[in-house]
Amino acid sequence: MARPYRDLVPLDLSNIEEQARLRAAVEAVRSQLGRSYPLQIGGVPLPVRGVFMSTDPSDPQSVVGEVASGAASDAETAVTAAARAAQNWSQVAPEERAALLLRVCDALLRRRRELIAWMAFDAGKNFAEADAELVEAVHHISWIAERLMTARPVRWASVESDVVVEAADSAVGAGIALSPFSFPAALPLGIAAAAISMGNAVVVKPSKVAPVAAHQALLAFDDAGLPPGVMNVVTGDDPAFREALVRHPAVRFCSFVGSRSGGAAVEAAASSWSAGQEHPRRFVARTDGKAATIVTASADIPWAVHEVVRSAFSYQGQKCTSTAHLILLGAVHDEFLDRLLKAIDTYASDRGPAWENHRYGPLVSAAALARVRGYASRAARDAAVLRPGDAEGPGHFIGPVVVDDVPSDSRIGREEIFGPFLSVMRAGTLSRAVELATGAGTAPAAAAFTRDAREAQYIREHLQARVLYLNGASTGPLAGVRSPAGEEGNPREPDDPSAYYETRTIVERYAIPDVE
């Protein structure tokens, strides 16, 4: 089966007609602001008992939606509905589940511009960032559908006996998906699609920040004809509600993307046994880190500057893969910083509301703004502040913060800030640069700029990051990358070795000569 959306690309935002279509979508969404978003359980909207407001980061006085705040009793209702629906959904043929996922892709693309507008109002994402997220979501979901259509039971025979073994994947039941604000459409869509594709049912709880954009994106499953209860959408800002969801005895798996502290709390709840629980819960998490970028003297400096600015300050640095550390090797420091600061000034000069498609927008919430301001105000104690982060209201705006000569053991050198905050470090040797990049934390991504083959080989071998970009920005989606243990024809033994390692992906933007 050829993937139907393999060639899907972002919209051409330079096209005048496309600009007009997006402006019309913004006005259409503007007319829908302030509506209520109840919990959606078993295909039925539940009466709202408590609510919280989701507001426009560019204008906090503008309410994007009045969102239901779930309670422990709602957790019981949601998980019970999912467990009941999973019994029938697990019996649906894989081909039918794959066809439904492709209809989800169709539904997303029918509402493409409207969803871009929702993300602009609710999450502060400009058109380019929001559309790239939707393209990523469609690529991911269609890849899941493709795998589902081509999957077959694996059979192999023992060479020493007449035993023939057949192994096939099967559903486990009901699960919980907890997603963050940083990708309000792609992450809940992708996590839900992965669970649903295997015949499971899921309760999706988007972040309390930008939940309306998630609600709107997840409507694609309803449009595609997903049976009631297979996916349930709940919201709330009470940690007790989240714990009640995770600890429900019928929950078989829990997927989490977010902060380290949040991930630790969810893992603790998922690993504990509840009254009536019969099976251990499976837990998978991706938590934050500090993505680093190394630049050596052999790099293409203008290109590296362009990519570092893009990876550090697109969506105001609010991605787990945003470059938070810049490690400059040797004599490249002064020239690179001079070019970088000028490029940052140009980049951030186009500032304003996301729904006007400005390049540089607000932080997602008042709490996010306060966090970045707090780190910026303390930065001078440890390092040289080159850009303090000017602030302009009334929205959650703060300019890029750039701090030089950051000690690796300082708070700004270790803690995840998750905003437009770039910490610059010097390294005398490549080995020290790699040590600094790796020591910044369990990075979801890292990047390095070099045109020297030996440097590139050393970085490949020693820099620890789940995705390593060579001569490219540390941000970028990848769909269809498989670990060796999951390839076709490679049966997974009961003691699956993939549990003991994590596949690392290396992406090169242009070829580096091989080492002689």
The series of mean pLDDT values per 10 residues for the chain, 516 residues long, is 76 97 98 97 89 97 97 94 97 95 97 98 98 96 90 68 73 95 96 96 97 98 98 93 95 91 89 90 82 95 96 95 93 96 97 97 96 94 93 89 94 90 96 87 81 95 89 77 40 48 76 70
Torsion sign (Cα): 118, 210, 231, 190: positive
Strands (E), 105-215: 154-157, 164-167, 174-178, 201-205
Token pair 């139907």 is found at 4
State how far the Cα of 183 lies from the Cα of 125, in Å rounded to an integer. Answer: 9
Q: Classify domain 18-151+169-287 at the CATH class level.
A: alpha beta
Residue 178, phi then psi, degrees to nearest 5: -115, 115
Q: What is the spatial order of strands in the sheet that 384-388 belongs to? A: 384-388, 401-404, 421-427, 323-329, 291-295, 445-449, 467-470, 505-508
- Please calculate the CA angle 353-290-419 and round it to the nearest 5 degrees: 20
- For residue 385 the two structure tokens come to 């502040």
Nearest to 426, CA basis, from 408, 441, 447: 408
State how far the Cα of 97 lies from the Cα of 90, in Å rounded to an integer. Answer: 10
- For residue 277 the two structure tokens come to 């629980």
State the alpha helices, DSSP H only, in 200-300. Answer: 211-223, 239-246, 260-271
Asked: is 291-491+498-508 a CATH 3.40.309.10 domain? The reply is yes
Residues 472-494, buried b or exposed e (16+ Cβ, 10 A)? bbbbbeebeeeeebeeeeeeeee
- For residue 62 the two structure tokens come to 């503008």
Q: Could you state, in order of their start, the residue ranges of all structural domains in the chain?
A: 18-151+169-287, 291-491+498-508
State how far the Cα of 211 lies from the Cα of 56, in Å rounded to an integer. Answer: 12
Domains 18-151+169-287 and 291-491+498-508 share a fold: no
CB 8 within 8 A of CB 138: yes
Q: How many Å separate Cα 373 from the centre of its chain? A: 24
State how far the Cα of 418 lies from the Cα of 287, in Å rounded to an integer. Answer: 12
Long-range CB pairs of 280-285 (<8 Å, 24+ gap) are 281/246, 281/251, 281/252, 281/253, 281/254, 282/172, 282/175, 282/252, 282/253, 282/254, 283/253, 283/254, 283/256, 284/253, 284/254, 284/255, 284/256, 285/255, 285/256, 285/257
CB atoms near residue 168 (< 10 Å): 10
